[in-house]
Amino acid sequence: MKKLIDKLEAEKNLEREEFKMLLTCEDDYLHERARAVRESFFGNQIYMRGLIEFTNYCKNDCYYCGLRCGNSDVVRYRLTFEQILECCAEGHELGFRTFVLQGGEDPYYTDDMLADLCSTIKATYPDCAITLSLGERSYDSYKRLFDAGADRYLLRQETSSDEHYAMLHPPEMTLSARKKCLWDLKEIGYQVGCGFMVGSPGQTLDHLVDDLFFIKELDPAMVGIGPFIPHKSSPYAEEKQGDLRLTLNCLAILRLMKPNLLLPATTALGTIEETGREMGVLAGGNVVMPNLSPLDAREKYMLYDNKICTDDGARKCRGCIARRMKKIGCEIAVTRGDYVHV
């Protein structure tokens, strides 16, 4: 296995069957090499993003998601312009230099509103980056938000198999439309993030290899990976959650494939394992995303069950993640943490 890991580090790619072997690898050398590569590019610096979940309305009915429009158990909310800016003000004081505006696909927030929000944040905090995670939009919409000050866009493809995508989404949603959005975002000039769930219903190792090959083709700045966690009000409520080791192996493989990648250790990792985010960093991750959302909104933004950090204020979340990173020899960087081409 060591030869295969060294080959990936040297060549940045493998054959399909070789990737499948690494995905199921139990050798800690995989994580050790990924950690060494991450440290060679970023030292012990971990980038911190401030997550603002500003709406849990969504027009889509994705079968795995707790916010899907068909879930009548959700107490819906929308943050006001002023509430979002208050989150940014608190985050800036705490050292956050990237704000991640995330929400369901909510038509209430028009391009005019979102462009005004982006330009206001940029004017108020010119030393900060804005990441958007708002789902599928038109090319013109993406372009307008980019021109208004948005720097990055996260849109997880969730799977790179058309057949598997159809298992997870209603018929009106297609993988081809999702991929077109990702290519549009790259063309416009965003630092683009894609990603996938590990262990989603119906997923095979071949599906995960398809994701690795798609990421190789897209060449994104960021990749968001987390384990699938079922939601009690979804059609997949009884499905098994994603495997921790397999998720960590995906992170490590991607770090070896793309050493300069922005790679979050996700909240979902911390949900299935108390030290999951630390384990994610030790497997090659270099981004953490504490929550800046108001407390009364956090408990309503439940993509999956048992989500952590729903009852801790922004200051407590920031202090907690800093302490966790310090325990594993890392430091939180008070910087935008932009993607750097090599």
Average pLDDT over residues 111-137: 98
Average pLDDT, the chain: 97
> CB neighbours of 329 closer than 8 A, spacing ≥ 6?
44
Q: How many residues does this entry show for the chain?
A: 342
**What is the band of 342 on the pLDDT scale with cuts at 50, 70, 90?**
confident
pLDDT at 152: 98
Is the confidence at residue 307, as pLDDT, over 90?
no
Average pLDDT over residues 164-176: 98
**What is the band of 312 on the pLDDT scale with cuts at 50, 70, 90?**
confident
C-alpha to C-alpha distance for 262 and 294, rounded to whole angstroms: 26
pLDDT at 305: 84
Task: Tell me the per-residue pLDDT of 23-39, one tens digit each, with 9 for 90 and over.
Answer: 999 999 999 999 999 99
* Exposed / middle / buried, residue 72 (Cβ in 10 Å: 0-12, 13-18, 19+): exposed
**What is the band of 324 on the pLDDT scale with cuts at 50, 70, 90?**
very high
pLDDT at 128: 98
pLDDT at 127: 98
3-state secondary structure of 292: coil
Average pLDDT over residues 68-73: 96
> CB neighbours of 148 closer than 8 A, spacing ≥ 6?
114, 115, 116, 118, 119, 122
pLDDT at 308: 84
Is the confidence at residue 122, as pLDDT, over 90?
yes
3-state secondary structure of 172: coil
Task: Tell me the per-residue pLDDT of 213-251, one tens digit each, with 9 for 90 and over.
Answer: 999 999 999 999 999 999 999 999 999 999 999 999 999
Do 67 and 302 form a contact (C-beta atoms < 8 A)?
A: yes
Is the confidence at residue 280, as pLDDT, over 90?
yes
In the chain, % of residues over pLDDT 90:
96
pTM, entire model: 0.97
pLDDT at 309: 84
Say how many C-beta atoms besides its own lie within 10 A of residue 325's C-beta. 22
Strands, E assignment, 157-236: 191-198, 222-227
DSSP state of 307: -
In the chain, % of residues over pLDDT 70:
100
